[in-house]
A and B are shown apart, each in its own frame.
Chain A
């Protein structure tokens, strides 16, 4: 499963490169950068002969970087001023908390609390994104938007791994290895959804365009 998860990162990478022209202008580049970083980070943690403490720091930095990239993506996908301000303030608080937590307590193998808080915060941002889409939809069908698939990926991954990350500090190595499959499945689903987002053509027709088109044909 670990092998499958690691190489599942390559699917969205290839799709992104295959559809480079239509992905170039959108903010999917942030997610592409995240996938590359995530892939390299996983390789380093898995294959590099480094100490446990270095791995812990790498994971700590990765959690913060992952959060910043996701938050930045959601920040640029949401248009409400209040929501943007909320994301900004929450992000500053979270980054300070995660850095302080990760670099002050180093007797763990995994930064359980920052990762679970990250999952919770990202889920909240995703809910804000969906709420905004309900209130003022930007396109006729939500699932023709690249951001929709990316947000779905983020939400499913965060929701799926939240309890695992939260409970990981209380689990033994054997148990953690047993349950880590949840995170791996979440990762694969997330990567597949990212690949869908990179593959679909951006929908230029807004809901108003569609309604006015209907009007044109009716009369």
Chain B
């Protein structure tokens, strides 16, 4: 209406027309240009974000490959250096010449060979247990963690305890194994780096999540440290924790207690009841 009133004054009509049209065109063209540049900026930003994520994934993948390789090398070394010589010695005791020896020597050789074979069986069992703890397979995560903590406490150097508050329904075996490996890695880190006097693990659940909390009173990590290690080339163990948790869609939080007396690590995984193994 205001513009129409202006329009009635014929002297200013051309001015309104000129400036109005120019103004509208400038606004329109600026808007189009802004939209084009804004869209480019947004896409560039998203691509940068994706690149960072890809690099992180690459790091995790490398860490997990490296871990596998290390595990294979350890297995190969155990089999080659321990099982190989034992079996070769047993073979020496049971060579073709044994039949030509006297009965006492024969019995002694067979006894020695039997002992060596027993040792080899024990060795292979130990290797197998390190790959998949039988307690975990047969009795579940709670027993496996208890077992591990009893062994650690038994050494007398650190007080390790654990308490599962609500673990009536077992998780899927693959998930349990992953969680066990994560706990193992965390405990290993505490033992190696923290100089802690105690480690305490608790387990809790709510409707859909399972929480495992690890407390210790030594030197620890905060979430910022954990993220920094994840982005850097070092911290292979932490990257393995991250990649294992990614497989089971879990989360991990590192924090220092408000009282500044101990560190707390919380692992959060979803409870998928349809896959659960009844204990």
Please report A residues at the B interface, Cβ cutoff 8 Å. 123, 127, 130, 133-134, 137, 140-143, 152, 155-156, 159-160, 162-164, 166-167, 169-171, 175, 179, 182, 207, 210-211, 214-215, 218-219
Contacts and interface: CB of A to CB of B under 8 A. Distances in A.
A162 B7 CA distance: 13
B7 A211 contact: no
A166 B13 CA distance: 10
B35 A134 contact: yes
Contact of B58 (A159, A171, A219): A219
A48 B27 CA distance: 38
B36 A142 contact: yes
Contact of A175 (B13, B20, B58): B13
Interface in B21-49: 21, 24-25, 27-29, 31-32, 35-36, 38-40, 42-43, 46-47
B10 interface: yes
Contact of A214 (B27, B47, B58): B47
B17 A159 contact: no
B246 interface: no
Contacts of A171: 10, 13
B114 interface: no
9 contacts: A123-B28, A130-B32, A130-B35, A156-B28, A162-B20, A166-B7, A167-B7, A170-B8, A210-B43
Contacts of B101: none
Interface string B83-119: 0000000000000000000000000000000000000
Contacts of A123: 28
A215 B50 contact: yes
Given A142-B36, A214-B50, A215-B50, A207 B43 contact: yes
Lowest 5 CB-CB distances: which A-B pairs, in order?
A: A163-B20, A170-B7, A159-B24, A159-B28, A163-B21
A163 B43 CA distance: 36
Interface of B: 3-4, 7-8, 10, 13-14, 16-17, 20-21, 24-25, 27-29, 31-32, 35-36, 38-40, 42-43, 46-47, 50-51, 54, 57-58
Contacts of B47: 211, 214
Contacts of A167: 3, 7, 13, 16-17
B51 A160 contact: no
B94 to A, nearest CB: 53
Contact of A160 (B7, B25, B35, B50): B25
Contact of A155 (B4, B28, B36): B28
B10 A159 contact: no
Contacts of A140: 43
A128 B47 CA distance: 26
B49 to A, nearest CB: 10
Nearest to A113: B4
B39 A133 contact: yes
Contacts of B20: 162-163, 166
A133 B36 CA distance: 10
- Which of B8, B24, B54 has the most A CB atoms < 10 Å from its CB? B24
